[in-house]
Structure 1
Amino acid sequence: MLSLPSARGRLAHLPREARDTLFLLAVIGWVLLPQVAHLPAWCSLLAFGVLFWRGVLAVRGRPLPGRWWLVALLLAALAATWASHRTLLGREAGVTLVVILLALKTLELRARRDALVVFFLGFFTMLTSFFHSQSLATAAAMLVGLLGLLTALVNAHRPVGQPSLRESAWLAGRMALAGAPVMVALFVFFPRFAPLWGMPSDAFTGRSGLSSTLRVGSVAELALDEGIALRVRFDGTPPPRSQLYFRGPVLSRFDGREWTARGGDGFEAMAGPPPGDLRVAGEPLRYEVTLEPSGRPWLLAIDAAPRPPELPERWRARLTGDLQWVSAHPVTELLRYRAESYPAFSYGQAGRDGRPRRDLGAWLQLPPDFNPRTQALARQLRAQAPDEDPEAIVQAALRRLAQGGYAYTLEPGVAGRHTADEFWLDAKAGFCEHIASAFVVLMRGAGVPARIVTGFQGGEMNGVDGYWTVRNADADAHAWAEVWLAGRGWVRVDPTGAVMPGRIGQFQRLRAPPGLVAGALGTFSPTLLARLRATWEAANNGWNQWVLNYTQSRQFDLLRGLGFAQPSWEDLGKVLAGLLAAAALGGAAWARWDSARHDPWLRLLQRARQRLRQAGIDAPPHAPPRELMRRVAASGMPAALRQPLADWLLALERQRYAPPAAGGAATLATLRRDFHQLQWPRAA
């Protein structure tokens, strides 16, 4: 097996062309790596196979394949792209073709012109990674790819000699740092023309743990999702975890196995007349929500939020009759808004006309021939309740859950036809969706109007940045019940709290099993993994808040802080143009001052001394070019290196001291160019 030192030795002795090609192929592979999860399998295999093939040809010094090979591979890729996407247009098909073209272009890497095409295809492919993810991790990976491509680009413009990749990387890093102020100015002040600004909206579809349907008993084992659904920052002291019920879709229709919302999940269907008798009491909770993209129109807020969330200008929201806020279009980008909620509230006692409610039949319906034993149990509870009091029936059901041997489990198994019967009388175990569904079926069977509410409950505070993190799936996603009681309206009842009190309030958080590395870290130090995770999520949240969520409204807020009374995008353009002009003038002034302060000839001579010292040749600070030439001649280096250096040093001396009548003296610009093209010796 080839050891690492021997591999480095072989790479060091490769011809420059082979070395540079291998470096470029490695950078391209790095740029393509984040795309693998989103590309067809054949595309990834073909792209990396072509890169490996090209690397083998470079190492062995073999000729590149002929044009017919490339034509055949391109036609095969076009056919496979059509078979995978049924089109050659659009985002997914376009990215697939760009990846294939980038890989195939490396098989034509013969001249600098071909290399430039590969570089710029690489830059474009790097940008397409943000179609799928704009996370901090993706940005960091693409920054590494950017520096790699810049290094290869710089190296390609140094055609003479064998400059090291380290020198090219250093120069590329300096170029990137020099351009960073311009990049920051463009980011901060370049006008964002919503909704054109941003990534394609379908890049974030379906990332929420919520749905407008709930199919009971179809999952044998619940997989915990540690993905973040939303982050919350409270004004002042946060409330108890037991009050953190983030309201999502309300499910009322039941066909025996599946619960669905009454109006579907569209804006117009869901956003019917709001409740006319919503009453709130006490001090409100004021907070800011950063909602992750979900592809759904739901705007999550803590129960109950009587006023609309403070949304960006192009967003609008309406309150449904089920007390849920929905937006006019799906949330397909990171969305930040402020909201105000009252944990003490009541609603639903009166109908839409303001009179006592009588339209309760929809919340009493049960499909025939389903769950007969649960309906018999419901009739029994109703008969045992004093005066068939609905509140007494609710309390009797909760006592049964608390004292009847029921358990909370993430592995309930697949249920049969009668899901409520199996929970109440057979398995006596399930997670929050099973428990809520079985409870609502029992209540309806007992004549108590009831429905399921889905959303999120609890969360955990990140000690690094002070934000509360709410996660998908059963880590924080939750389902509870609402029952209608005369004189009180809709009342929240969380039957899961009777089965597992620690689940409500998040004293016992559900977590996905750690991976191999995370498990090892957790074993070594129980708190280290938690600290690392909190720090990483705080960094991600900062990225979300200050980069991804830097919208046009925040740009205008910045301009107001700079003194613009009514800022517009024209003002942004003026500020940006002024900054760029000031930067250009400042750079020109600095260059003029620097050239006047430092003699460019002496600076070039000093750089030559530094290169000679790096080669192990004694070069005193005040040695003139002719003395340096003598020391080079006496160094014993090969003549192929010694003679060009001696000639260049003498040319440098002539440029300074030869009289104008002598003629033939090289210009300083020519000497600078030759300096970079010389093959400077290296210390052994």
Structure 2
Amino acid sequence: MLIPRLQNLPRDARDTLFLLAVIGLILLPQVPNLPWWCSMLAAIVLLWRGTLAVQAKPLPGKWWRAALLAITLVATYSTHRTLLGRDAGVTLIVILLALKTLELRARRDAFVVFFLGFFTMLTNFFYSQSLMTAFAMLLALLGLLTALVNAHMPVGKPPLAQAARTAGWMALLGAPIMLVLFMLFPRMAPLWGTPSDAMAGRTGLSNTMRVGTIAELALDEGIAARIRFDGDRVPPRAALYFRGPVLSRFDGREWTALPPFSRGSIPPSLRVRGEVSSYEVTLEPTNRAWLLTLDATADKPNLSGYEIFGTPELQWIATRPISDLVRYRAKSFTQFQSGPLRRTAGLQPYVELPPGSNPRTVALAAQMRRDPALAGASSQAFVQAALQRLRTGGYSYTLEPGLYGDDTADQFWFDIKAGFCEHIASAFVVLMRALDIPARIVTGYQGGEVNNVDNYWVLRNSDAHAWAEVWQEGAGWVRVDPTGAISPDRVGQFRRLAPQPGLLAGAMEAMNPTLSQTLRATWEAVNNGWNQWILNYTQSRQLDLLKNIGFEAPSLQDLVVVLLALMVAASLLGAAWTLWERSQHDPWLRLLGQARARLKQAGIDVPEATPPRQMAARLDERFGSGAQAARDWLIRLEAQRYAKSPGDALSALRAEFRRLSWPR
């Protein structure tokens, strides 16, 4: 059996294997964020070190370690093109932690590994601050504390369970301090960002849309945002369009956004009607500057710590990327119009097409213009004609359309006739522009689902969507969702294409679909609570806490004052505890220690375990009759220790000690 063998190992081997296991737990969540060679090298080094410990073989020499370090530096620079920054720094710290175990000979080396492990543990939060990451790092913290406590027990072979209990008590006693610091330590701007965007090939949002370069789209069920509507005023499902980047510039293959305030841009001229919907958005980190709001939002969302401005295309943008989980409030109208009512020069960018691109779509537009049924028709009539073509022309909505060529609109309208929302919206807008009708693409999220556990409306990356806005005379910009013409279920009832579940999830869903959905909703609700109360505990919420305890207009200075006051109070309580604890120690031993200190002043240094009778003998040898009073006092002190009824003799001895003249 493995466990008995581990228990029978020498202490050095056992402790080393335990420490290596803790290091492995620290590094395991980093594997998806590290270069493949880094994870492989760290694993090889840890296994190598474990084998050396079990077989009691000598550790490799310094030339081996120097060679591995040199290989690490070269590989890190080749991968990241730098040795500085977050990604390169994490790569180096992981390898250095693994390599340090190869010179784990003395307690001093172990302490270096412990504190390097604490630092490496924190780097996991550079990439993820999820509940699972926090739980894994809590286990790693307890493991490192256990190893640290164990290292301070050098005698014998104490069980690891004993060190683990001590480590648990240390963590428990430190929890109140951690809680106070979490609640009151001033929140600063983030010192680093999140990983770069990696949306290619998966559902989600980006600042650009390159059509036709992805042959197969994988549905990402990760959560993009959570919405909580005030009261029962949830808009109809068909109106749930959450606006993200607006793409208006087309180079023949890729759609990009216009500069926020380009020359000649026209104001949004938003006109709203109907009931307002008030809601709160919890937006996951996007590393982008745009905010997600329900179409359309007239007033600036309330986001603490960020400066927000609106664009002429009804988009709300922050002055810096959203690199952390944020929460903000907004008010929106699902019934609205925007843009000019009459055609102006500012609409010209929305009819531009690259010269020579998509010639068959341009020819289709010319054919529609010559159609007698559409002669002199309004732009609305051409929109309906294009939608009718989508409904009846054999087009399909799929996540596996295959690769497109250069003229993506031509291939969609005449050849492939299949695609996901970006193909459909792009081809539709190109046709509108070929008809000289201003049009643009709006990306965002459409649909979502309600979590019945916490009643939050959940938007997933698989809800990412692209639709069109067409300008019409007398109405301005009007939303048109061409995907709904091909697949009404995708827009109206939100029956989106579902990804294939994993083996375990598929088995659970097959056995009990209701249980599977309940467990998923419960876990997401727990995660949402973590996000709301822990990750989204901002400076504004800190100041709200001060308001609740009596501050009328709290500031950052008030926050610091409260924190310092609590620190001083905690220090005074700690001092009081120390005094009380000292008073509870054995008063006889404390009096004996004071006598030992007096002997040391007299030039007689005795060990702590020396009894009073031997101390008296040392006094007699050194000073003879000159130390008679002190020698007699020590004899009475020893007798008091073993007296059947000590009474108040110790108090008398203590008073006599203060008056006693010790020889020098």
Q: TM-score range by the shorter chain?
A: 0.7 to 0.9
Q: Which moved more, 1:518-527 or 1:133-142?
A: 518-527
1:551-590 correspondence runs (5 A): 551-586=538-573
Alpha-carbon contact 2:447-2:494 (below 8 Å) kept: no
Alignment partner for residue 393 of structure 2, among 404, 417, 435? Answer: 404
> Contact (CA 8 Å) 2:289, 2:318: kept in 1 or not?
yes
Secondary structure of the residue aligned to 2:252 is coil
Task: Determine the C-alpha separation between the residues in 2 that align with 1:419 and 1:396.
Answer: 20
Pick one of 634, 638, 646 that aligns with 1:661: 638
Specify the code of the residue in structure 1 equivalent to 2:456: Y
> In 1, are the aligned partners of 2:469 and 2:478 still within 8 Å (CA)?
yes
Q: What is the TM-score when the length of structure 2 is the normalising length?
A: 0.84
Find 2:151's aligned residue among 144, 150, 156. Answer: 156
- Which amino acid counterpart does residue 252 of structure 1 have in structure 2? S
The structure-2 alpha-carbon separation of the partners of 1:459 and 1:276, relative to structure 1 and needing over 3 Å to count, comes to: closer
- Give the letter for the 1:302 counterpart: L
Instruction: Find the residue that maps to 2:376 and give its secondary structure.
Output: helix
Unaligned residue ranges in structure 1 (runs of 5+)? 1-5, 602-650, 652-657, 666-684
Q: Which residue does 1:619 correspond to in 2?
A: none
| Letter of the structure 1 residue corresponding to residue 283 of structure 2 | L
Residue pairs, 1:262-341, within 5 angstroms: 262-263=258-259, 275=267, 277-313=269-305, 315-341=306-332
Q: How far apart are the structure 1 equivalents of 2:236 and 2:10? A: 67
2:435 and 2:359 map into 1 onto residues whose CA distance is 12
Matches within 5 A, 1:530-679: 530-586=517-573, 660-661=637-638
The amino acid that maps onto 2:344 is R
Kept in 2, the 8 Å contact 1:204–1:333? The answer is no
Q: Would you say the 8 A contact 2:368–2:374 is kept in 1? A: yes
Cα deviation, residue 303, structure 1: 1.1
Equivalent residue number for residue 501 of structure 1:
488
The CA deviation string for residues 402-453 of structure 1, in whole angstroms up to 9 with x for no partner, is 2333221111111233322332233322111111112122222333222211
For residues 267-321 of structure 1, the C-alpha deviation after alignment (integer angstroms, 9 at most, x for no partner) is 6659x866252211111111111112212111111111111111214x1122111
Q: Does the C-alpha gap of structure 1 residues 600 and 486 become closer, same or farther in structure 2, counting only changes over 3 Å?
A: farther
**What whole-Å deviation, never above 9, does each CA across 1:610-659 have from its counterpart, x for those lacking one?**
xxxxxxxxxxxxxxxxxxxxxxxxxxxxxxxxxxxxxxxxx9xxxxxx96
- Whether 1:520 and 2:507 are equivalent positions in the alignment is yes
AA aligned opposite 2:249: R
Matched, 1:418 2:410: no
Tell me by how many angstroms 1:589 deviates. Answer: 5.1
Residues in 2 aligned to 1:524 and 1:167: alpha-carbon distance in whole angstroms: 43
Q: Could you say which residue in structure 2 is the equivalent of 1:633?
A: none
Superposition pairs for residues 210-249 of structure 1, below 5 Å?
Answer: 210-237=205-232, 238-249=234-245
Match of 1:680 in 2: none
**Structure 1 counterpart of 2:22, one-letter code:** V
- Aligned-partner residue type, residue 301 of structure 1: T
- Which of 441, 456, 464 is the aligned partner of 2:445? 456
1:186 equivalent in structure 2: 181
Which piece of structure 1 moves more, 562-571 or 111-120? 562-571
The aligned counterpart of 1:628 is none
- Give the alignment partner of residue 467 of structure 1, picking from 425, 447, 456: 456
Counterpart in 2 of 1:85? 80
Write out aligned runs for 1:93-104 (5 A): 93-104=88-99
Match of 1:668 in 2: none
Task: Name the amino acid aligned to 1:303.
Answer: D
Q: Identify the residue that residue 630 of structure 1 maps to in structure 2.
A: none
- Segments of 4+ moved more than 4 angstroms: 204-208, 267-270, 584-601, 662-665
Partner of 2:278, secondary structure, is strand
Q: Is the 8 A contact 2:266 2:339 kept in 1?
A: no
Alignment of 1:200-211 (within 5 A): 200-203=192-195, 205=197, 209-211=204-206
**2: CA distance, partners of 1:591 / 1:201:** 43
Alpha-carbon distance change, 533 to 269 in structure 1, aligned in 2, over 3 angstroms: farther
Corresponding residue of 2:14: 19
**Structure 1's 84 and 405: CA in aligned 2 closer, same or farther, altered over 3 A?**
closer
Residues 599-618 of structure 1, C-alpha deviations (whole Å, 9 max, x = no match): 899xxxxxxxxxxxxxxxxx
The equivalent residue for 1:642 is none
Matched-pair contact (CA < 8 Å) for 1:274–1:319: no
Residue 664 of structure 1, CA deviation:
11
* C-alpha distance 310-53 of structure 1, shift in aligned 2 (>3 A): same
Aligned-partner Cα distance in 1 for 2:205–2:499:
18
Alpha-carbon distance between aligned partners in 2 of 1:72 and 1:391, rounded to the nearest angstrom: 71
State the alpha-carbon separation in 2 of the partners of residues 250 and 304 from structure 1: 13
Per the alignment, residue 428 of structure 1 pairs with 417
Cα deviation, residue 326, structure 1: 1.2
* 361 and 68 in structure 1: CA distance in 2 versus 1, 3 angstrom threshold: closer
Q: Distance in 1 between matches of 2:19 and 2:249?
A: 59
Q: Distance in 2 between matches of 1:97 and 1:231?
A: 36
Cα distance in 1 for partners of 2:426, 2:197 equals 27
Equivalent residue number for residue 55 of structure 1: 50
Which structure is larger by alpha-carbon Rg, 1 or 2? 2
Cα RMSD between the aligned structures?
2.9
Residue 36, structure 1, aligned to residue 36, structure 2: no
Counterpart residue number, 2:646: none
What is the CA–CA distance in structure 1 between the aligned matches of 2:170 and 2:197, rounded to whole Å? Answer: 37
| 2:625 paired residue number | none
Corresponding residue for residue 349 of structure 1: 340
Q: 2:382 aligns with which of 388, 393, 417?
A: 393
Query: Residues 369-405 of structure 1, C-alpha deviation per residue, up to 9 Å, x if partnerless?
Result: 3333333333343422263222122122222222333
Residue 222 of structure 1 aligns to a residue whose secondary structure is coil
Q: Which amino acid aligns with 1:29?
A: G
- Structure 2 gaps of 5+ residues are 589-610, 612-634, 643-664
Would the alpha carbon gap of residues 79 and 432 (structure 1) be closer, same or farther in structure 2, given more than 3 Å must change? closer
- Work out the CA distance in 2 between the residues paired with 1:65 and 1:356: 78
How far off its partner does 1:591 sit?
A: 6.7
Matched residue SS, 1:201 = coil
Checking the alignment, whether the CA contact within 8 Å between 1:20 and 1:152 is kept in structure 2 is: yes
CA distance in 2, matches of 1:562, 1:274: 48
- Tell me the distance in 2 between the aligned counterparts of 1:257 and 1:372: 14
Question: How many residue pairs were aligned?
Answer: 596
Task: For 1:574, give the aligned amino acid.
Answer: V
Any residues of structure 2 matched to 1:128-139 within 5 Å, and which?
128-139=123-134
Sequence identity (%): 62
